[in-house]
Structure 1
């Protein structure tokens, strides 16, 4: 159940601006036999045309495989990539995922995400909204 809750957060996090929850389906969640401090959780995530998630980090390692459509993704400090069906990538725990979303405005995109994390880990943590009252937030909001 923790997997489903965390993944719902993964696809729904964001600020005002039309970020809607992507369709997600938990596939499995199981302790790993070789280690007692990690659990495997697998889900599919489907982005509607033009849909994206707000910047976030993961509490475990994430292995991602594109099933259909095209996913636009960028980890902080890295290049922007567009992945198509059959493409995959790895996100280490704690990496700042600054862009994740559907690269198409006309077709859906679905990916399989497999997390390896401690059983009690929050799998996805969204960036906090900037405090609009702070001077730094006001200078960046123009």
Structure 2
């Protein structure tokens, strides 16, 4: 078993456990990929898929201080509000980014009748313990 596989598996487990805690029951967060970036020492790229049921939403949360996030809507429509920006609706094929240490105040399925799916790609310090923390 390679070190690369072990590190990737460990990071996927951390990524899965961390964002799931910031979502309401019924949302499904699935790790898709986690790998240290070889030409950027100390950084890891982590990809997660977030499935929102009809009317589903994430609780307001912050992201790791080092994390730059690219979000891409795979299907449906997602409403998102980052920091003090306006709430925006993104449709399948549209994307946005979140700068390091962002507060994600709104992240929800825009539809009450159809599911939605989001790909979230994090670039963060490899030693970050939590990628997502609920706002209390």
* TM superposition score normalised by structure 2: 0.85
Partner of residue 126, structure 1: 134
**1:42/1:114 contact within 8 Å kept:** yes
**1:64/1:113 contact within 8 Å kept:** yes
**2:42/2:127 contact within 8 Å kept:** no
- Uncovered stretches (5+) of structure 1, i.e. residues with no partner: 13-18, 129-142
Partner of residue 109, structure 1: 116
1:58 equivalent in alignment to 2:63? yes
Give the count of matched residue pairs: 121
**1:25/1:43 contact within 8 Å kept:** yes
Partner of residue 10, structure 2: none
Cα RMSD between the aligned structures? 1.1
1:6 equivalent in alignment to 2:18? yes
How far apart are residue 114 of structure 1 and its match? 0.4
Deviation >3 Å, runs of 4+: none
- Uncovered stretches (5+) of structure 2, i.e. residues with no partner: 1-12
Partner of residue 131, structure 1: none
**1:22/1:51 contact within 8 Å kept:** yes
Higher alpha-carbon Rg: 1
- Of 19, 42, 47, the residue aligned with 1:42 is 47
2:35 is paired with a residue whose SS is: strand
